Chain A
Amino acid sequence: MLRTMISLAAIACSLLAAGCNLGPKTVKIGVAGPMTGPNAKQGNDFLNGVQLAADEWNAKGGVLGRKIEVIPVDDRSDPKEAVMAANKLVNLGAAGVIGHYESSCTIPASMIYAEAGVVQITPSSTNPALTLDQRRSTVFRACGRDDQQGSMAATFVRDRLKLRKVAVIDDKTTYGQGLAREFERNLGQGIAVVAYENIQRGDKDFSAILTKIKPLAPEAVYFGGYYTEAGLLATQMRRQGVRAAFISGDATIDQEFLNIAGRDAEGAYLSYGPDVRKLESAKGFVAAYTAKFGPLGPYSLYAYDAANVLLRGIEAAQTAEGAKVAAAIHGLSFNGARGELSFDENGDLRNIPYVMWVVRNGAFEVAN
């Protein structure tokens, strides 16, 4: 017994010693998001986008003369797991993190990164609280905010569709509720919100709510939430005979929404960034990504841009130290696959126009 303990202690010591001798040979970039579970595709889209960026940089010799290593961590769409994942990346010495997917994960995780001084860029979390509630110099967002998205959708309903009665439903998540509230707040006078209902994320049956909404005859149903519930909701609306336009946000623009809702998705309006497939600056990215990973996910390109921003920040700062990288990112303007990107003092993009998309013939296209 004693002998075993001594040998174990010896092994432990030698491991510690070895650990001290290893200097950082690579620059570590964390990718955090749901890698398993129902939203696994989003996390893997992130990973693919970041990996593509890292491969391109590595082919040119990496950054700071070191190779770039991509470390994926899984938050399983769970805020508790997100905090654990964040701690893991901080402990591994990540120079920066691309993630997370949902606002409900990104916000708690951001506290960990900010405290450790690690640069975090989320490709997809749109809740305003992430950047506006407390200004932290190391937090960035490579997409728009829900107040911008919600007000665009409200304007669209008021001025383009010219509807006067809407029902609003949210899924009680940080993202869904935030977006739905912003939409409602921006509707203005003259548009009646005939019902405001909540659903539970993961629930499958919304017939009770829809039955309640139907006699109120809304002309549009606005949903703040994610694609699975959105697909179910769109289907059940048609089944219950609710004849209203279905309008939702950027978390709905996913092939899965079309798969679930089938032809009931037809005519649904979704707010999202401009069509990257038509951008000249994104041509190279789209070709390389599709060749390697298949069809583009809604946030593949955002993750790719975010990774490039981070790496160029590190290059400009000539160090992987968080505060200096963040300062470099704040001061720079980037030529991303989406065009020119620069960040304001909150870490938000200076210019992110949301546009309305529509489902036509089983595919997403920009509504004109």
Chain B
Amino acid sequence: MFLQQLINGLTVGAIYALIALGYTMVYGILEFINFAHGEVYMLGAYLGIIALGLLTQWGVTGWTLAPLLVIVFAMVWAAAWGGTIETVAYRPLRAAPRLSPLISALGVSIFLQNFVMLTQGARDQVFRRELLFSSDFNACGLSLASCTVSYTQLLIIGTALALMTGLTLFINRTKLGRAMRATAQDQRMARLCGVNVDGIIRLTFVIGSALGAAAGVLVALYYGVVNFHIGYVAGLKAFIAAVAGGIGSIPGAMLGGLLLGLAESFGAGYLSSQYKDVYAFVILIVVLLVRPQGILGNKRDKV
């Protein structure tokens, strides 16, 4: 049972971590919390359904690579949304007081929720997994002792790990990544050194949105049901994960996400399932009491 709860927790945690990255990256650079990020994740889930629909129409769902295509489609499209949101809602407010972009973010969030509700309907949408995978993929998996690891869970953990590794390599090893770190440290200095700061900020939103969308598709794949208000709770939890891990810190967001997933899973399994949503907040309170900057956060980035 312990092992099974561990796997369950890691699966959910990997998804929280992917979303949390979007919060933490934006905060690291702009010191502002992008409250619309949860909705971008929700958008990603819907884009996954749309991609699946397109693939079905073209008759290419049998491919082994089809799930990858769905994820990539959603990521690219959501990245475009992320870039656009930054240009429309946040860039004009770059010089405004810190509260203004925050309120703008809430506005974007309300807009996106209602946009999806009006265009896609208020009902639950079903992600038809059986179109994407051979016969009984959902129920299949590896059996280790008393523990079943479904292929869907492996797919989620694997994809999330791959994306997080890719992001870490990008930030630490590439020129653009270095420019991003420089912008996070000191915008003016970075600009003086020839970094295109506006471009970097947009890139941050683009990457964060793509990761959020990937999380959305993975969730649609895992649960099979999506609706227009899933962004709220998931966004809130991912935000908690980002803050607990140390907002502004990329490894912190990953750690925070996994920790949250594990806490929910073990809490529901060993304590009581009635209080599942409470565990996330308990973790947040404990972390903030003991280390106000978050587990891996800098002193500078106190929240």
Contact = CB atoms under 8 A, between A and B. Distances in A.
B126 A203 contact: no
A212 interface: yes
A208 B273 CA distance: 8
Residue in B12, B124, B146, B152 with the greatest tally of chain A CB atoms within 10 Å: B124
Interface string B245-267: 00000000000000000001111
A260 B277 contact: no
A313 interface: no
A264 B137 CA distance: 11
Would you call the interface of chain B mostly helix, strand, loop, or mixed?
helix
Interface in B203-255: 219, 223-225, 227, 230
B129 A262 contact: yes
Contact of B126 (A37, A260, A263): A260
Given A211-B1, A212-B269, A38 B276 contact: no
B178 interface: no
A260 B222 CA distance: 12
A256 B226 CA distance: 12
B119 interface: no
Interface stretch (A19-27, A63-71, A231-239, A276-284): A231-239
A221 B130 CA distance: 24
B138 interface: yes
B276 A203 contact: yes
Residue in B4, B219, B265 with the greatest tally of chain A CB atoms within 10 Å: B4
A240 B269 CA distance: 14
Interface stretch (A128-136, A193-201, A352-360): A193-201
Interface in A47-82: none
B150 interface: yes
Residue in B5, B138, B141, B225 with the greatest tally of chain A CB atoms within 10 Å: B225
B148 interface: yes
Contacts of A235: 138, 223-224
Interface string A349-368: 00000000000000000000
B6 to A, nearest CB: 10
A238 B146 contact: no
A208 B269 contact: yes
Given A204-B225, A205-B12, A264 B139 contact: yes
Contacts of B276: 200, 203, 208
Interface string B140-160: 010100101010100000000
B223 A36 contact: no
Interface string A218-239: 0000000000100110010011
Interface string B96-136: 00000000000000000000000000111010111000001
Given A38-B123, A232-B224, A262-B129, A208 B265 contact: yes
Nearest to A204: B223
A262 B277 contact: no
A228 to B, nearest CB: 6
B265 to A, nearest CB: 5
Residue in B126, B129, B266 with the greatest tally of chain A CB atoms within 10 Å: B126
Contacts of B268: 208-209, 212
Contacts of B8: 205, 207-208, 211
B136 A263 contact: yes
Contact of A240 (B123, B130, B136, B148): B148
Interface string A183-201: 0000000000000011110
Contact of B273 (A37, A199, A215, A263): A199
A164 interface: no
A208 B264 contact: yes
Contact of B152 (A209, A239, A263): A239
Interface in A15-43: 36-38, 40-41
B274 interface: yes
A208 to B, nearest CB: 3
A356 B128 CA distance: 28
Contact of A228 (B124, B146, B267): B124
A231 B152 CA distance: 17
Interface of A: 36-38, 40-41, 172, 197-200, 203-205, 207-209, 211-212, 214-215, 228, 231-232, 235, 238-241, 256, 259-260, 262-264
The 9 closest A-B pairs by CB, nearest first: A208-B268, A207-B8, A241-B148, A238-B139, A211-B4, A204-B223, A208-B269, A259-B126, A239-B150
14 contacts: A38-B123, A40-B122, A41-B123, A199-B273, A200-B274, A204-B225, A205-B8, A207-B265, A208-B5, A208-B268, A211-B4, A214-B146, A241-B143, A262-B128
